Structure 1
Amino acid sequence: MTMSGSGSGGGGVLPRRAAVIVFLAFAFAYFLSALVRAVTATLAPTLAQEFSLHARDLGLLAGGYFLGFSATQLPLGTWLDRHGPKKVALGFLGVAVVGSLVFSAATGFSGLLAGRVLCGAGVSACLMAPLTGYRRWLEPVAQMRANSWMLMTGSLGMVASTLPVQWTLPLVGWRPLFWGLAVLIALSMVVIALWVPGWGSAGQPKADSSAAEAVPQGYGVVWRHPYFQRLAPLGFFCYGGMVAMQTLWAGPWMQRVAGYTALESATGLFWINVSMLCTFWTWGMVNPWLLRKGFGADRLMAMGLPLCSAVLLGIILAGPQAGGGAWALFCVACTFVSLSQPAVAMAFPQALAGRALSAYNLVIFVGVFVVQWGIGLAVDAFAAAGLATVPAFQAAMVVYLACNAGAYAWFLLRGQRHNVLTTPTP
Structure 2
Amino acid sequence: MTGHAVLPRRAAVIVFLAFAFAYFLSALVRAVTATLAPTLAQEFSLQASDLGLLAGGYFLGFAATQLPLGTWLDRHGPRKVALGFLGVAVVGSLVFSVATGFSGLLAGRVLCGAGVSACLMAPLTGYRRWFEPTAQMRANSWMLMTGSLGMVASTLPVQWALPLVGWRPLFWGLAALIALSMVVIAVWVPGWAAGTPGAGGGGGDATAERGPSGVTVPPGYAMVWRHPYFQRLAPLGFFVYGGMVAMQTLWAGPWMQRVAGYSPLEVATGLFWINVSMLCTFWTWGMVNPWLLRKGLGADRLMAAGLPLCLVVLLGIILAGSQAGGGAWALFCVSCTFVSLSQPAVAMAFPQALAGRALSAYNLVIFAGVFVVQWGIGLGVDAFAAAGLSTVQSFQAAMAVYLACNAVAYAWFLLQGRRHNVLQTTTP
> Please, what TM-score do these two structures have when normalized by structure 2?
0.88
Partner of 1:247: 249
Alpha-carbon shift at residue 58 of structure 1 (Å): 4.4
Task: Name which of 129, 146, 149 aligns with 1:153.
Answer: 146
CA distance change for structure 1 residues 303 and 49 in 2, over 3 Å: closer, same or farther? closer
CA shift digits 1:116-165 (9 cap, x unpaired): 22211111100010011111111111111111111111111111111101
1:132 aligns with 2:130: no
Partner of 2:46: 54
397-406 or 88-97, larger mean C-alpha shift: 397-406
Alpha-carbon shift at residue 44 of structure 1 (Å): 3.9
CA distance change for structure 1 residues 396 and 110 in 2, over 3 Å: closer, same or farther? closer
319-328 or 351-360, larger mean C-alpha shift: 319-328
CA distance change for structure 1 residues 111 and 15 in 2, over 3 Å: closer, same or farther? same
Partner of 2:83: 90
Partner of 2:278: 276
Partner of 2:156: 163
What are the residue-to-residue correspondences of 1:103-252 with 2, within 5 Å? 103-200=96-193, 206-207=196-197, 210-211=210-211, 214-252=216-254
Q: Distance in 2 between matches of 1:177 and 1:391?
A: 35
For the 8 Å contact 1:12–1:206, the answer to whether it is kept is: no
Q: Distance in 2 between matches of 1:276 and 1:305?
A: 16
Q: Distance in 1 between matches of 2:223 and 2:81?
A: 22
151-160 or 378-387, larger mean C-alpha shift: 378-387
CA distance change for structure 1 residues 231 and 224 in 2, over 3 Å: closer, same or farther? same
Q: Distance in 2 between matches of 1:299 and 1:162?
A: 34
> Please, what TM-score do these two structures have when normalized by structure 1?
0.89
1:307 aligns with 2:316: no
Partner of 2:206: none
Instruction: State the number of aligned residues.
Output: 405
For the 8 Å contact 1:379–1:392, the answer to whether it is kept is: yes
CA distance change for structure 1 residues 293 and 148 in 2, over 3 Å: closer, same or farther? same
Alpha-carbon shift at residue 256 of structure 1 (Å): 2.9
Task: Name which of 340, 343, 349 aligns with 1:338.
Answer: 340
CA distance change for structure 1 residues 381 and 166 in 2, over 3 Å: closer, same or farther? closer
CA distance change for structure 1 residues 20 and 63 in 2, over 3 Å: closer, same or farther? same
Alpha-carbon shift at residue 302 of structure 1 (Å): 0.7
CA distance change for structure 1 residues 325 and 289 in 2, over 3 Å: closer, same or farther? same
Partner of 1:295: 297
Alpha-carbon shift at residue 376 of structure 1 (Å): 3.0
| AA aligned opposite 1:61 | L
Q: Distance in 1 between matches of 2:312 and 2:230?
A: 26
| AA aligned opposite 1:284 | G
Structure 2 residue runs without a partner (length 5+)? 199-208, 423-428
394-403 or 347-356, larger mean C-alpha shift: 394-403
Q: Distance in 1 between matches of 2:380 and 2:185?
A: 44
Alpha-carbon shift at residue 107 of structure 1 (Å): 4.5
For the 8 Å contact 2:259–2:322, the answer to whether it is kept is: yes
CA shift digits 1:337-366 (9 cap, x unpaired): 000000001111111111111111111111
Q: Distance in 1 between matches of 2:167 and 2:402?
A: 35
Partner of 2:29: 36
For the aligned residues, what is the CA RMSD?
2.3
1:65 aligns with 2:58: yes
| 1:13 alignment partner, SS class | coil
152-161 or 106-115, larger mean C-alpha shift: 106-115
97-106 or 348-357, larger mean C-alpha shift: 97-106
Alpha-carbon shift at residue 81 of structure 1 (Å): 0.6
CA shift digits 1:154-180 (9 cap, x unpaired): 111111111101212333333332222
Q: Distance in 2 between matches of 1:69 and 1:257?
A: 30
Structure 1 residue runs without a partner (length 5+)? 1-9, 419-426
Q: Distance in 1 between matches of 2:299 and 2:9?
A: 24
Identity score, percent: 87
Task: Name which of 7, 23, 27 aligns with 1:14.
Answer: 7
| AA aligned opposite 2:311 | S
For the 8 Å contact 2:52–2:377, the answer to whether it is kept is: no
Q: Distance in 1 between matches of 2:40 and 2:264?
A: 17
| AA aligned opposite 1:206 | T
156-165 or 337-346, larger mean C-alpha shift: 156-165
CA distance change for structure 1 residues 39 and 250 in 2, over 3 Å: closer, same or farther? closer
Partner of 1:412: 414
